[in-house]
């Protein structure tokens, strides 16, 4: 059931509810998950030591390897027969991370996603075209369930079959498109190739985009291509899936549904809790999850959080920015490089398209290569100047990254397109094959 009133809770009420739920959840995890009982004893603390919100810093962290080390059932807090669904990480290597839900968890997740749709501007009478993948990945079923809880009709198109996707966008006059931002960009290109004008022929009003990092420039491109609002959705499989936080119509940060999640930012190196507004690693405690409670889960996402009231009237704290994941960060010649920084620099350059690829190689020293497509309209215009464009983009990259990146401009359509998460980074430093010189 969609809990619309929860979106407009007062901050004092949120804090009071968080404290009540935190104390209850810490005891619940301690009593029902052997891993947590062991951790608490190792740290010399008891659930009774957690008396207020600030005491959450005493609780040991949980990390992704904990889920792998206890695969598949080790963190369950309920008997297996009480689990109604399992999901698993979409990673292709190593032991997957498994998450479990009982019936109450499923209801909560559906409500969280319904709130996200509502906050983003969707209405119960809308049609949602869900182009996230269905399966072990939480995206497809999470977005599907939330839309139905809000009251929307769902077209479960899943990923792939792009021609049918654009045909249905036209025929059904879909109101909401849910997919990765890179696929939204791809769909706009595909629509034009199949004779559709995404603005004139489609009737999209809201885009629900997540599962991969994307820049403001990418947002601008999507909104201009479809004439709709492009809203960022935050989540991860360990924390239900999508639905942890969402942008409202103000697009000034992502509201965390803090009646179900307690967020902290920490120094990723020391674990020290940072003051409000300071950038650090985001850490979440799940306040109501029953099948698999997670305490102080380190997301590896780097961002900042504010508790200032949003102009939309919601008091739930907002993630102001996510600069990338600390485990996605590349260290190139001793310099920290986030893929999102590369995207920002490229898309600040007029004439560069949204499709790019980062390659890191090593020849005695680390080398950073960037391949970027030229915008089709500029490429086909009489004003196209490859050397000038390359020089400008290279300068923008250097200004942002503080290192030299070898840039190669590509013709429109040169890089592979994907129906899910775009593969932006190729790190070949552990391989011995040398990539081509740019």
67-79, pLDDT tens digit by residue?
999 999 989 999 9
Q: With the C-alpha atoms ordered 132, 137, 138, 141, is the resulting torsion angle positive or negative?
A: positive
DSSP secondary structure string for all residues of 346-414: HHTSTTEEEEEEEEEEEESEEEEEEEEEEPHHHHTSTT--HHHHHHHHHHHHHHHHSS--EEEEE-TT-
Do 120 and 247 touch, CB atoms closer than 8 A? yes
pLDDT at 420 over 90: no
How many other CB atoms are found less than 10 A from the CB of residue 414? 15
Map out the domains of the chain with their CATH numbers: 1-326 (3.40.50.12780), 330-427 (3.30.300.30)
Supply the mean pLDDT for the chain: 91
Rounded mean pLDDT of 103-124? Answer: 98
Peptide bond connecting 150 to the previous residue in cis, omega within 30 degrees of 0: no
Better-scored residue on pLDDT, 249 or 364: 249
pLDDT band at 434 (very low <50, low <70, confident <90, very high): very low
State the pLDDT confidence band at 218, using cuts at 50, 70 and 90. Answer: confident
Cα–Cα distance measured from residue 6 to residue 14, given in angstroms and rounded to the nearest whole number: 9
Q: Collapsing DSSP states into helix, strand and coil, what is residue 138?
A: helix
Residue 81: per-residue pLDDT: 97
What are the distances in angstroms from CA 61 to CA 296, 339, 399? 5, 27, 36
Is the pLDDT confidence value at 20 over 60? yes
For residue range 310-325, what is the model confidence (pLDDT) as tens digits?
999 999 999 997 876 6
**Alpha-helical regions (H) of 92-161:** 103-120, 138-150
What pLDDT shows up at residue 334?
A: 65
Residue tagged 């599907």 (tokens): 144
């Amino acid at each position: 059931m969609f809990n619309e009133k929860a979106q407009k809770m007062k901050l004092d009420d949120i804090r009071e509810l968080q404290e009540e739920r935190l104390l209850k959840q810490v005891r619940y995890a301690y009593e029902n998950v052997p891993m947590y009982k062991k951790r608490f004893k190792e740290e010399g603390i008891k659930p009774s030591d957690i008396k207020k919100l600030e005491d959450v810093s005493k609780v040991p962290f949980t990390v992704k390897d904990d889920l792998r080390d206890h695969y598949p059932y080790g963190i369950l807090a309920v008997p297996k027969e009480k689990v109604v669904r399992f999901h698993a990480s979409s990673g292709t290597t190593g032991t997957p991370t498994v998450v479990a839900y009982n019936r109450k968890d499923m209801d909560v997740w559906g409500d969280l996603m319904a709130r996200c749709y509502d906050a983003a501007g969707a209405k119960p009478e809308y049609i949602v075209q869900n182009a996230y993948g269905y399966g072990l990945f939480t995206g497809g079923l999470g977005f599907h369930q939330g839309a139905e809880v809000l009251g929307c009709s769902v077209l479960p198109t899943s990923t792939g079959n792009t021609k049918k996707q654009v045909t249905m966008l036209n025929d059904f006059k879909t109101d909401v498109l849910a997919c990765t931002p890179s696929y939204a960009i791809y769909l706009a290109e595909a629509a034009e190739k199949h004779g559709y004008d995404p603005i004139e022929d489609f009737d999209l009003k809201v885009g629900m985009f997540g599962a991969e990092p994307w820049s403001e420039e990418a947002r601008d491109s999507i909104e201009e291509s479809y004439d709709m609002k492009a809203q960022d959705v935050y989540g991860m499989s360990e924390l239900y899936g999508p639905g942890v936080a969402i942008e409202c119509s103000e697009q000034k940060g992502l509201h965390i549904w803090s009646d179900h999640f307690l967020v902290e930012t920490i120094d990723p190196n020391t674990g020290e809790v940072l003051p409000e507004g300071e950038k650090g690693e985001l850490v979440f405690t799940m306040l109501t999850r029953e099948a698999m409670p997670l305490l102080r889960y380190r997301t590896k996402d780097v961002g900042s959080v504010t508790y200032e009231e949003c102009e939309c009237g919601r008091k739930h704290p907002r993630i102001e920015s996510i600069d990338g994941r600390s485990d996605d960060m590349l260290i190139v010649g001793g310099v920290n490089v986030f893929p999102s920084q590369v995207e920002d620099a490229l898309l600040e350059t007029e004439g560069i398209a949204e499709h790019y690829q980062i390659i890191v190689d090593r020849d005695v020293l680390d080398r950073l290569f960037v391949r970027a497509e030229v915008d089709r309209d500029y490429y086909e215009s009489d004003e196209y100047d490859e050397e000038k464009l390359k020089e400008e983009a290279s300068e923008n990259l250097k200004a942002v990254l503080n290192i030299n990146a070898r840039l190669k401009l590509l013709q429109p359509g040169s890089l592979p397109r994907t129906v899910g998460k775009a593969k932006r980074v190729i790190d070949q430093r552990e391989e011995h094959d040398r990539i081509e010189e740019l």
